[in-house]
Structure 1
């Protein structure tokens, strides 16, 4: 892997995946990413990158996409929308990428959507952003974006319906005060209204919240409303801080988080807190996921992901990170990144890039059936730009997230 740096306005670096590009003769397919390699969600951004990089590395080792090597460029945006905009301009204008790929985060993706409209004549779409928000799924921007993952609305609805089956009717929400949090809030309000229910209370926090900060105020606000479930639309530091402060006050309410939380990073913080205090912080937790557990060996797609990661040379992008980072062998975020790269590869192998950009009536019904090995096949193409609808669930058992298949087990969980 070759690493190149550019110290400009933001002092940013980018990574260029070229292994083993030199041996391939076709015109490279240049894929550009902006993600958080530093800042409050860096674990998520790094693992998404590693999963995608691992698959593109595998593709190049097998001859590329129809003989064309994949050149994968990535910039750090620290989960800052202004930097994401700068990165996008650099990728398009200087790096001349063919596609934008797996941008990470709702506020960051939302910031660059108008730019896709500006570049409409250049046919540069965004493939598989790592966000379940609605703006890129609706007019006027849905025509420029391919979405693979389920939406936050789908995740929240799936969680709520499972709790309703358990007899729960009082839902509160903790959410980040921006477009990410608001997407989750909208999803919760809508599903509750369809069941003649309302949000009993809500509390917010600012983007960039760190685990070391106090969530006691938010805990007090929500607890006074006596909810039976707290839906959390948070990043891992904020989510773990809320759970810590709730449990420290003896409040054992079930807390759920959507997939963007980066489950393993949240759990690491809680387990470290248990070691420091002797408290219990990992019971009554459920996270929704847009990929299945990487420990579900019944799915061949899971086994493929593990094999890809076991055989890659995908060291984390050290040059982009101000602080050390220990990569995970497997992660939900890495699995999502790998699937993003796999589906992109399958699509470009079978549909010319220029046709993927088409929005003509002739292409309205043109799509591919793609088997991922994790359940129902997906359909994607110029006339169908949303892939997966399935939501998976995970809970903590023996210090790790495992698949939750029987929700009655959750209702029986007690504080250790």
Structure 2
């Protein structure tokens, strides 16, 4: 082999090695793709903090899995969150920041009727410049389901009208027709109150008594005044539209006053957070505060392991449970499982499908059209998910639960409350 040939081989080998190194360096130095930002404003502080924290944890549990597998089209999904303390004014400020400063793709996982209803005009305003949508708020109120805002919001959960209709119907069927209402004095409370009123009107009945409380009161507050107002009407059952600390305080004072009738709460209440307060009170007092409680839920029980979604949720929440946001974690004990974090998990699961369809489409599909393309999507429940024009709500099933053995279990037979 002559020297010229050896030099040629050496040069070729060197060039090949340099090319490999350059390719490896290029791959190594390629900047990561920008994350997909979803904007969330919710209660991470205050007396309703458990709602925002648990909804966030459930969604984060699912997105953590997505991101660990490379994200969506190489982009990680990040929830950009702000605390609004369940107060409308901070929620408005947060929303403007999320849109103008953070440039989020969409709004996601908002918590509460008083906050969401005040944000709806903001969303409508920003839609004059470019499309902006809210996905899967944790509220069953009507305004985001009706003109002029329904086109900007996609709901996964059922509505308060469906929940209250179901409660009234089932109570009616077991002979409990004198229904009283306790409700939070704001848009949330009035939405639930209106649902009860409409359901009773269908049966030629009316609300026999009603009492209100101001948003933000805690478990230490007295509800004796509200109990007296409702008890005077001798109701057969009470439907409460509130949050967990206030509703737990009402249940405590109602039972202490001897008002031992079914007390029903809507899914928004935060069932496990409310039950923690009542279970703790039972242990310290020796009294029974958890009998004859009925709660509606927007998702199936997380104990039903026959459902694939439940099995997946329980696995990740057991093996890799997300912590609360660090700045809001002080003095908060995360729940292992809850209806709220399960709902957050499902929110993220459906959102991931929508994002995948949007980003993998050959036709540069918009977020809106990607959402409308969802038809009979199996997310591991008995009920498939579909969206479409004029159909911006994915689930319609209402689930009923009651307390047994210190936890909420499915309620399938109402005859125990027959009159």
TM-score past 0.5 threshold: yes
Is 1:123 the counterpart of 2:134 in the alignment?
no
Is 1:153 the counterpart of 2:161 in the alignment?
yes
CA deviation string 1:82-103 (max 9, x = no partner): 1111111111111110111010
**Aligned counterpart in structure 2 of residue 249 of structure 1, from 257, 264, 271:** 257
CA–CA distance in structure 1, aligned partners of residues 209 and 51 of structure 2: 29
**Aligned counterpart in structure 1 of residue 110 of structure 2, from 96, 103, 114:** 103
Deviation at 1:65, TM superposition (A): 1.8
Deviation at 1:124, TM superposition (A): 1.8
Aligned-partner SS, 1:287? strand
Question: 2:197 — aligned with what?
Answer: 189
Q: Which runs of 5+ in 1 are unaligned?
A: 1-21
Aligned-partner SS, 1:378? coil
Q: How does 1:129-148 map to 2 (within 5 A)?
A: 129-148=137-156
Superposed CA RMSD: 2.0
**Aligned counterpart in structure 1 of residue 271 of structure 2, from 253, 263, 271:** 263
Question: 1:13 — aligned with what?
Answer: none
CA–CA distance in structure 1, aligned partners of residues 175 and 31 of structure 2: 59
Deviation at 1:271, TM superposition (A): 1.3
**Aligned counterpart in structure 1 of residue 366 of structure 2, from 351, 355, 360:** 355
Q: How does 1:365-380 map to 2 (within 5 A)?
A: 366-380=373-387
**Aligned counterpart in structure 1 of residue 230 of structure 2, from 219, 222, 230:** 222
Aligned-partner SS, 1:232? strand
Q: Which runs of 5+ in 2 are unaligned?
A: 1-28
Question: 1:6 — aligned with what?
Answer: none
**Aligned counterpart in structure 1 of residue 400 of structure 2, from 393, 406, 414:** 393
CA deviation string 1:74-120 (max 9, x = no partner): 11111111111111111111111011101000001111111111110
Further displaced range: 102-111 or 267-276:
267-276
Deviation at 1:339, TM superposition (A): 0.6
Is 1:303 the counterpart of 2:303 in the alignment?
no
Aligned-partner SS, 1:96? coil
CA–CA distance in structure 1, aligned partners of residues 373 and 318 of structure 2: 35
Distance 1:62 1:383, change over 3 A: farther
Is 1:41 the counterpart of 2:48 in the alignment?
yes
Deviation at 1:68, TM superposition (A): 2.2
Distance 1:23 1:70, change over 3 A: farther
CA–CA distance in structure 2, aligned partners of residues 314 and 382 of structure 1: 35
CA–CA distance in structure 2, aligned partners of residues 127 and 102 of structure 1: 7
Q: How many residues align?
A: 386
Question: 1:71 — aligned with what?
Answer: 78
User: Hey, which of these two has a bigger chunk of strand by percent?
Assistant: 1
CA–CA distance in structure 2, aligned partners of residues 26 and 289 of structure 1: 38
Question: 2:336 — aligned with what?
Answer: 329
Deviation at 1:24, TM superposition (A): 9.1
The question of whether the paired residues in 2 share the 8 Å contact of 1:50 and 1:337 is answered with yes
Further displaced range: 348-357 or 62-71:
348-357
Deviation at 1:371, TM superposition (A): 1.1
Aligned-partner SS, 1:385? coil
Distance 1:410 1:304, change over 3 A: farther
**Aligned counterpart in structure 1 of residue 411 of structure 2, from 395, 398, 404:** 404
The question of whether the paired residues in 2 share the 8 Å contact of 1:356 and 1:381 is answered with no
TM-score (norm. length: structure 1): 0.89
Question: 2:37 — aligned with what?
Answer: 30
Further displaced range: 346-355 or 137-146:
346-355
TM-score (norm. length: structure 2): 0.88
CA–CA distance in structure 2, aligned partners of residues 101 and 317 of structure 1: 16
Deviation at 1:366, TM superposition (A): 4.6
Question: 2:101 — aligned with what?
Answer: 94
Distance 1:400 1:313, change over 3 A: closer
**Aligned counterpart in structure 2 of residue 273 of structure 1, from 248, 271, 281:** 281
Is 1:288 the counterpart of 2:299 in the alignment?
no
CA deviation string 1:212-250 (max 9, x = no partner): 011111000001111101000010111111110111011
Deviation at 1:308, TM superposition (A): 2.4
Deviation at 1:67, TM superposition (A): 2.6
Deviation at 1:368, TM superposition (A): 2.5
Question: 1:238 — aligned with what?
Answer: 246
CA–CA distance in structure 1, aligned partners of residues 66 and 354 of structure 2: 13
